[in-house]
Amino acid sequence: MQHLKLRRAVIATAQRMNGLGINQGTSGNVSARAGNGILITPSGVPYESLKPADLVEMTFDGNWRCAVAARRPSSEWRIHLDVLRARPEFGALVHVHPIHATALACQRRGIPAFHYMVAVAGGNSIRCAPYATFGTAKLSRGALKALEGRTACLLANHGIVAGGDGLNSALALAVEVETLAAQYCQALQLGRPKILAEAEMKRVLSKFKAGYGYGSGPGKAPKAPASTRRSRRR
């Protein structure tokens, strides 16, 4: 069987989504780039019972196959296929239905820059894509639009889509978005949150891109600002 390690990682990610409380039952789905296509979780199969052979292989032209005859690709395969086709920097995509982000999506509200960590999704807001019936090309087009310049978005009356260079980063981003959604919902109960200025969000985004905060990782030292580097040479 091809991509056995990746298949196991996709299954583990799906199981972690539910374990982390950002998804329920089989409502979400996971995909990962594999060769000239993707691997995606099958439709309607409980994550705890998934085996590597249950995952569906799809090519970017929409053809699919699975070693288990009864399996079909997730009903949201269009979003996964279209996003991973359009965004080569993504190695994986997760789609989940967490409580707070879905509540905002049901109000057709995105998440503005009430907190600097909104920049974790790549911009000064996390957009909400327009509503469309699940599994449709219209929903996929809306998600692609909402993801322009972003790595995550909400789907109206639906949930979250989050992408990353791999499964771990895509899942981590989905958790961050749900955390922000929960904080935003709480802030709204106290009144109208103060929104950070665009200039401040640009500074935050530049720090993230330089490797500070969320952008840092093991063995990855962020670059010192140019002014600091100059002072060290004196």
| Catalytic hit among 76, 176, 178, 200 | 76
Give the span between the Cα atoms of 22 and 222, in whole angstroms. Answer: 31
Give the span between the Cα atoms of 188 and 92, in whole angstroms. Answer: 32
Give the span between the Cα atoms of 61 and 84, in whole angstroms. Answer: 12
User: In sequence order, what are the residues at sequence separation of 6 or more whose Cβ sits closer than 8 angstroms to the Cβ of residue 157?
Assistant: 105, 106, 108, 131
Question: Do 177 and 118 contact (CB within 8 A), yes or no?
Answer: no
* 76: annotated active-site residue: yes
Q: Which two tokens stand for residue 4?
A: 């056995």
Please identify every residue annotated as catalytic.
76
